Amino acid sequence: MAVATLVSTRWLSVGSSDLADSAAAGRAAALAATGGKTAKLLIAFASHGHAPQALLDAIAEVTHNAPLIGCTTAGEIAASGPSDNGVVIVALGGSGFSVRSASAVAAEGQLRDASAAVAGCARGLEGEFKALLLLSDGLGGDQEEVIRGAYSVVGASIPLVGGCAGDDLRMKETVQFHDRQVLHGAVVGAAISSDSPIGIGVRHGWQRVGGAMLVTSSSGNHVYALDDMPALDIYLDKLGVQGAARTDPAAFTQFAITHPLGISRRSGEQVRFIGGANFDDRSLSCIANVPQGGLAWFMEGDENSVLEATDAACTDAIAALGGHKPIGFVAFDCIARRGVLGTAGIAKEVERIGAHADGAPVAGFYTYGEIARTHGTTGFHNQTLVVLALS
């Protein structure tokens, strides 16, 4: 199916497919998204289950090699609702948009350098309103380095937005796309310039559980000790974890996505998604850096708090459009929020986003981390919904 909006010289449309054959799914979603028009950028979110090369080749064929960035997900979002095992493609075009895309593989964990290289595509891009859309490998190290690398190139001049690729919670390997290239451990990005405002909204809906703890031992995104106790043990005990999650890694991850770690920041707190635990050294593995010496606390969410955050993020994104009508939303929604909401809840959430879009197409994916820098220097988030609104 396809939903398209034409506003003067800019257009954004979304196509999706749940066909099992990767090439067929890619072809169907791309045709639905472009409707035969020449797209300036395609943004593709696909299930990790798809054969990525077949998917990209098929998309390139029917779009005449339109520039593409994308990644695998932990679930796709389209106006029709959330899905698994599908493909969602956002196409944008029209004279009001200018787009440049780039990709770089982070050698030896050099995320910052890779991100800076990708951000270079924003150089010289004309236009009043801009955003740099970044998609990265959420399992590839400290994602704050992605923000730092991009910020070192574009500075405060361009907001950053995007998310970390997923692999349907296998937590093993994610894939990034750039044109026809299938990439691993990469940062892909597109600098988008528009003659109409671009809005970004960021909200999470988590609440603290229990008191604050001191991070007594951590290194990078590994947390070894909280209040001088093994981090995993204190996590299991304080949250009263029972059953398989105490010993089974997969069950633990399932539990942990709805029980993140909060760390102290000027803005109040940042949420850290706990991706896994080491049952031997009793440490926790987060998606981003948890500084030693800082305060941390455990968090949890419920359906209400998460949905309230959804409303707030959409409202913020629309407000940033300065009265201009949105032509489409791209949502980067944390997999953890999906975990809290459940199947019925996420359908409700997508519906709410669609309501805020007021008929404009909606697309997105469930992420392993979210990117949104609109002010200040920081911009990496966990357990958060980031909404990009184009007008």
Chain residues that interact with another protein, rule: CB under 8 A: 119, 123, 148, 151-159, 212, 264-269, 291-295, 375-378
| CA–CA separation, 336 and 298 (whole Å) | 14
| CA–CA separation, 17 and 26 (whole Å) | 7
Least Å distance, CB 122 to another protein, is 8
- 380 by Cβ neighbours in 10 Å (0-12 / 13-18 / 19+) ranks as buried
Least Å distance, CB 154 to another protein, is 4
Q: Show Cβ contacts of residue 223 under 8 Å, excluding neighbours closer than 6 positions.
A: 215, 217, 231, 261, 283, 284, 285, 286, 290, 296
Measuring CA to CA, which residue among 264, 260, 327, 324 is closest to residue 291? 264
Least Å distance, CB 150 to another protein, is 9
Q: Which is nearer to another protein, 186 or 271 (CB)?
A: 271
- 103 by Cβ neighbours in 10 Å (0-12 / 13-18 / 19+) ranks as buried
The torsion region of residue 388 among left (phi > 0), alpha (psi -120 to 50) and beta comes to: beta
Q: Which is nearer to another protein, 36 or 293 (CB)?
A: 293
Q: Which is nearer to another protein, 144 or 168 (CB)?
A: 144
Q: Which is nearer to another protein, 170 or 265 (CB)?
A: 265
Q: Which is nearer to another protein, 155 or 359 (CB)?
A: 155
Q: Show Cβ contacts of residue 34 under 8 Å, excluding neighbours closer than 6 positions.
A: 13, 15, 42, 62, 63, 66, 91, 93
Cα-based torsion angle of the residue sequence 375, 260, 316, 152 in order, rounded to the nearest 10 degrees: 20
Rg of the chain (C-alpha set)? 20
Least Å distance, CB 200 to another protein, is 13
Least Å distance, CB 78 to another protein, is 31
Q: Show Cβ contacts of residue 169 under 8 Å, excluding neighbours closer than 6 positions.
A: 74, 253, 254, 257, 335
Q: Which is nearer to another protein, 45 or 129 (CB)?
A: 129
Q: Which is nearer to another protein, 148 or 338 (CB)?
A: 148
What is the DSSP secondary-structure string of 199-255? Answer: EEEEEE--EEEEEEEEEEEEETTEEEEETTEEHHHHHHHHTT--GGGGT-HHHHHHH
| CA–CA separation, 113 and 115 (whole Å) | 5
Least Å distance, CB 294 to another protein, is 5
Least Å distance, CB 152 to another protein, is 7
Q: Which is nearer to another protein, 152 or 343 (CB)?
A: 152
Dmax over Cα atoms in the chain, in whole Å?
61
Measuring CA to CA, which residue among 347, 273, 386 is closest to residue 81? 347
Least Å distance, CB 144 to another protein, is 8
Q: Which is nearer to another protein, 123 or 170 (CB)?
A: 123
Least Å distance, CB 64 to another protein, is 33
What is the DSSP secondary-structure string of 161-173? Answer: EEEEE--TT--S-
Q: Which is nearer to another protein, 53 or 264 (CB)?
A: 264
What Cα–Cα distance (Å) separates residue 135 from each residue in 186, 188, 222? 8, 5, 22
